[in-house]
Amino acid sequence: MNHDATKPFAITLDPGSSLANKTGTWRTQRPVYVDRLPPCNAQCPAGEDIQGWLFHAEGGDYEAAWRHLTRDNPFPATMGRVCYHTCEGACNRGKLDEAVGINSVERFLGDEALKRGWRFDLPPLETGKRVLVVGAGPSGMSAAYHLRRRGHRVTVMEAGPLMGGMMRFGIPQYRLPRDVLQAEMQRIVDLGVEVRLNSKVSAIETEMTQGGFDAAFLAVGAHIGKRTTIPAKDGARILDAVSVLRSMEGEDKPMLGRRVVVYGGGNTAIDVARTAKRLGATEAIIVYRRTREKMPAHDFEVEEALQEGVMVKWLSTIKQQGEGGDLTIEKMTLDAKGNPQPTGEFETLQADSLVLALGQDVDLGLLNGVPGLDVKDGVVQVDPATLMTGRPGLFAGGDMVPAERNVTVAVGHGKKAALHIDAWLRAGAASASVAAPAPAVPTLPAKHAPAGFERLNTWYYTDAPKTVRPQLDAARRVSSFDEVQGGLNEENAQFEARRCLSCGNCFECDNCYGVCPDNAVIKLGPGKRFEFNYEYCKGCGVCAAECPCGAIDMVGEEG
């Protein structure tokens, strides 16, 4: 057969030809579209569908991305600043070049929402049920948000003068500007949540009975600084870190002096030392009994503190405070198990103030007389599945329960508790009846199998280094409380969102459609993905091999 090379080559099949026969009977395996759980989603303590909102952001629909994100977490502008973004540590992209800047995009969406005035939709119906939330911090306000969106009437009682809890009184302004925090708190109030400030709950049972509440969520923050015994002469100035940071919210700032020593190794110790520098201290020294590798503070915060002139005395402990504030420091060494041991070597350190940052406790006085509660090691024991205490209708989360203490975990507890409070109320349980049934556990779909890096076809991805957020230079940091970490602009945020590999979930790249030799892949239209025509698929597996995100499995034919 002669063919004109200037014309396209094509073959038209006669339906009766053997070439047009169906190939489905050839298969021993068939391809199946699957959805898998991205590692970022699996890691998020707040339960965000990170991959879902990144999909909207990469397409430029930022409001859709924000609304998708805030289905789970009402504080994107806040969390984009203070979350420790463990999701990025789990990101598969980190094995290719660098993790997706999830936290950076979250902050951009949160700031965009504040700039454009996006509001939450009001609840479509009212249930008539009343829920008391104790504490207007991250856990309490998260629970209030999710409960209100489900139509319940929510009253938040806060002992302090402002909303925010430890986000306001424990995180310095250079990390979290107060106008951002206040705006995201107010947006929840605008949903119809009642917040009573300067209203400390001294007895939860009495409050629930007198207020006619059907259920309650306890979210009291850890506001009490732990103490330790340090022998000191009269006139020694010893403060606790929580009090120092809390006083920064008032008009009268703490007088720490020119030489400030902070005792502890957590993020709070770092925050106090950096705050002291901004208040004019010429020396801010952290005394910590282990090495930097053992320090519980996050390494990036330690690095920022060192850049700002904060000094750290590793492997050191404070033995006593003498005349004029002088501190006696003993050098330590680590034993074979990594525990600090005294060496008998001492030195003297001059200090105008000693600030103790040794951890915080929760005030549990409001629980006196509550039947069925179990309190161990200063926290309330709850059912891990529902966060309900031993007293039916009384739930707890955040700093009050056994868990890691950070904002993201607290926000996740608020959401989880709200889901189970909602289920419990809809089951018809009375507010204070000890005979009330256990809360119904909401029926949730089973989690998908994990989307591991080994499933990705990285041949299709080019190197695209992570966008670095701008930072205030160190010299300007220590002279003001201006925000240290900047945000991304729209161009950078969209670029960062597009670095997402969509691990384990089809994003309609058309690869399977394009590579199938049997034309067995059917496009269902934008947003509807694809399906296989198994009459013509011969199970060659090229679609699965060429899927960039690992969203196709090859499974054996039945029988």
Range of the domain at 102: 39-118+456-498
Q: State residue 235's pLDDT score.
A: 58
Q: State residue 541's pLDDT score.
A: 94
Decide if 435 is inside a domain: no
Tally of domains within the chain: 4
Q: State residue 441's pLDDT score.
A: 61
Pairing of strands 360-361, 224-225: antiparallel
pLDDT of 229 above 90:
no
The domain boundary residue, chosen from 360, 387, 406: 360
Q: Exposed, middle or buried, 137 (CB in 10 Å: 0-12/13-18/19+)?
A: buried
Decide if 8 is inside a domain: no
Confidence of residue 433 (pLDDT cuts 50, 70, 90): very low
Same domain flag for 184 and 73 = no
Same domain flag for 234 and 178 = no
What average pLDDT is seen over the chain? 90
The domain boundary residue, chosen from 426, 443, 477: 426
Q: State residue 501's pLDDT score.
A: 95
By C-alpha distance, which of 308, 226, 306, 304 is closest to 264? 226
Cα distances from 135 to residues 72, 179, 209, 244, 540, in angstroms, run: 19, 20, 18, 21, 59
Same domain flag for 108 and 161 = no
The domain boundary residue, chosen from 426, 443, 473: 426
What CATH number is given to the structural domain containing 529? 3.30.70.20
Neighbouring residues of 16: CB distance < 8 A, sequence distance ≥ 6: none
Neighbour-count burial for 209-218, b at 16+ CB within 10 Å, e otherwise: eeeebbbbbb
Same domain flag for 245 and 344 = yes
CB 503 within 8 A of CB 549: yes
Please write the tens of the pLDDT for every residue from 112-149.
999 999 999 999 999 999 999 999 999 999 999 999 99
Pairing of strands 238-240, 327-334: unpaired
CB 496 within 8 A of CB 106: no
pLDDT of 499 above 60:
yes
Confidence of residue 486 (pLDDT cuts 50, 70, 90): very high
Same domain flag for 248 and 306 = yes
Give this prediction's pTM: 0.90
Confidence of residue 53 (pLDDT cuts 50, 70, 90): very high
Q: State residue 438's pLDDT score.
A: 59
Decide if 431 is inside a domain: no
Share of the chain above pLDDT 90, in %: 79
Same domain flag for 96 and 85 = yes
pLDDT of 220 above 70:
yes
Decide if 447 is inside a domain: no
Same domain flag for 329 and 399 = no
Tell me the mean pLDDT in the region 356-379. Answer: 92
Same domain flag for 289 and 411 = no
pLDDT of 232 above 80:
no
Please write the tens of the pLDDT for every residue from 304-316.
999 999 999 999 9
Out of 243-252, 299-308, 411-420, 427-436, pick the least confident: 427-436
Please write the tens of the pLDDT for every residue from 508-549.
999 999 999 999 999 999 989 999 999 999 999 999 999 999
Q: State residue 21's pLDDT score.
A: 56
pLDDT of 424 above 90:
yes
Q: State residue 253's pLDDT score.
A: 86
Q: State residue 434's pLDDT score.
A: 42
Please write the tens of the pLDDT for every residue from 388-404.
999 999 999 999 998 99
Q: State residue 421's pLDDT score.
A: 96
Decide if 450 is inside a domain: no
Same domain flag for 333 and 275 = yes
pLDDT of 428 above 80:
no
Same domain flag for 230 and 345 = yes
Tell me the mean pLDDT in the region 493-520. Answer: 95
Same domain flag for 230 and 245 = yes
pLDDT of 285 above 50:
yes
Q: Which two tokens stand for residue 122?
A: 């009001």
Same domain flag for 245 and 335 = yes
Decide if 9 is inside a domain: no
What CATH number is given to the structural domain containing 251? 3.50.50.60
Please write the tens of the pLDDT for every residue from 374-383.
999 899 999 9
Decide if 446 is inside a domain: no
Confidence of residue 237 (pLDDT cuts 50, 70, 90): confident
One-letter identity of residue 436: A
Decide if 147 is inside a domain: yes
Please write the tens of the pLDDT for every residue from 434-485.
445 556 666 667 788 999 999 999 888 888 888 889 999 988 998 899 999 9
